[in-house]
Structure 1
Amino acid sequence: MSIIWFIVVGLVAGLLARALMPGRQSMGLVATLLLGIVGSFVGGFIGSLFSPSRRVFDLQPSGIIMSVVGAIVVLLLVGWAGRGRRIHA
């Protein structure tokens, strides 16, 4: 049951991150789900930086708030990396 819960939290985190992020992100449901899952791991990493009881390099899923924060960070990084790839006509 934990895998299903992880997928649901990832989807909700991805949807919330896309809703909170200004601009248009053209991605489907699967990409939004993957964004939320990656955001969960990034949020867990960010949370472990501020928690003395966690080790930084332990990959662990985080709660919904840190998952959304992590997904926003991932969206910012993808947007920043994709800026130079635009073709100017």
Structure 2
Amino acid sequence: MGILTWIVVGLIAGLLARAIIPAARGAGIIMTIVIGIVGAILGGYVGSLLGFGEISGFNIKTLLTATLGAVILLVLQRMFAKK
């Protein structure tokens, strides 16, 4: 995938993940994109380990995998965040 596709997938996955698991209030659009991109990488890695295939192109499977990875990332962030 190209960098623009990663940014778009990251933005959409980050927004969906933040709708499912609300993150810190001060996080802006850049942080949402970063969460989505890192979530896509995490989701793709876990998905490939479990035999779901790789992330390729802009499709629903990629978006769901990236969103799941971003949700996992937000849950981990909440677990380790200082309260």
TM-score after normalising by structure 2: 0.81
Assess if the C-alpha contact under 8 Å between 2:23 and 2:74 holds in 1: no
Other-structure match for 1:67: 66
**Distance in structure 2 (CA, Å) of the matches to 1:65 and 1:79:** 21
Assess if the C-alpha contact under 8 Å between 1:9 and 1:36 holds in 2: yes
What do you get for the CA RMSD once the two structures are aligned? 2.3
- Which protein shows a greater Rg? 1
**Distance in structure 2 (CA, Å) of the matches to 1:24 and 1:53:** 29
Q: Which runs of 5+ in 2 are unaligned?
A: none
Number of aligned positions between the proteins: 78
Larger RCO: Structure 1 or Structure 2 (Cα < 8 Å, ≥ 6 residues apart)? 2
Q: Which runs of 5+ in 1 are unaligned?
A: 55-59
